[in-house]
Amino acid sequence: MRAEGSTQVEQGEIAHTPEAIQEWAPELRRRFPTGRRAVALEQSRGPLVFASSKYVRPSGAKSDGPDVAML
């Protein structure tokens, strides 16, 4: 994760459970209350994508390169 205007990069992992996502998403909103937040997932379907769909929506991009550039 990298905040706009910062060069510091944070890394982390969250469990692939609805409970972990329900804790993580509001925390992300709390830390960055204004503007948009971008989240990249390396999968197009599955439990993590389904559970996170409550908080994020897909970009529709089909390749990693343009996804990274967009973020």
Over residues 21-68, the pLDDT tens digits come to 889 888 988 988 887 787 777 777 777 778 778 877 776 666 666 666
What is the residue extent of each domain of the chain?
A: 18-70
pLDDT at 62: 65
pLDDT at 68: 62
pLDDT at 3: 84
Please spell the DSSP secondary structure of 19-63, one letter per residue: HHHHHHHHHHHHHS-SS------S-SSSHHHHHHTTT-------S
> pTM above the 0.85 mark?
no
Q: Ramachandran region of residue 46, left (φ > 0), alpha (ψ -120 to 50) or beta? A: left
pLDDT at 65: 64
